[in-house]
Copies of this chain bind each other. A is one copy, B any other.
Amino acid sequence: MSLVVVGSVALDSVETPFGKKEEVLGGSATFFSTAAAFFTRVLAVAVVGEDFPEEHLAFLRSRGVDLEGITREPGRTFRWSGRYTYQLNEAQTLDTQLNVFERFSPRLPARYQEAEYVFLGNIHPELQSRVLDQVRSPRLVAADTMNFWISGALPALRKTLQRVHLLFVNDAEARALAGEHNVVKAARAILRMGPGRVVIKRGEYGALLFEEDHAFALPAYPLEDVFDPTGAGDTFAGGFMGHLAHARTLDHATLRRAMVFGSVLASFNVEQFSLERLRVLSLGEIQARYRLLRQLTHFEEIQTSMD
Contacts and interface: CB of A to CB of B under 8 A. Distances in A.
A299 B206 contact: no
A257 B290 contact: no
B294 A218 contact: no
B294 A216 contact: no
Given A257-B303, A301-B294, A219 B217 contact: yes
Contact of A182 (B219, B224, B287, B301): B224
A215 B219 CA distance: 12
A202 interface: yes
A184 interface: yes
A260 B217 CA distance: 14
Nearest to A204: B183
Identical copies in the complex: 2
B260 A185 contact: no
A300 B257 contact: yes
Given A205-B206, A206-B205, A246-B306, A297 B181 contact: no
The CB with the most chain B CB atoms within 10 A, among A86, A224, A246, A291, is that of: A224
A247 interface: yes
B299 A226 contact: no
Interface in A170-208: 181-185, 188, 202, 204-206, 208
A124 interface: no
Contacts of A185: 224
Contact of A216 (B253, B296, B307): B296
Contacts of A226: 182
Given A184-B224, A216-B297, A217-B297, 19 more contacts: A87-B181, A182-B223, A183-B222, A185-B224, A202-B205, A206-B206, A215-B222, A216-B299, A217-B219, A217-B220, A217-B222, A218-B219, A218-B299, A256-B300, A257-B303, A259-B299, A287-B307, A291-B301, A294-B301
21 contacts: A86-B181, A182-B223, A182-B226, A183-B204, A183-B222, A206-B217, A208-B219, A215-B296, A216-B297, A216-B299, A217-B220, A217-B222, A218-B219, A218-B297, A218-B299, A253-B300, A257-B300, A257-B302, A257-B303, A287-B306, A291-B302
8 cross-chain pairs, A with B, having the tightest CB-CB distances, nearest first: A217-B219, A205-B205, A256-B299, A184-B224, A184-B222, A86-B181, A217-B296, A219-B219
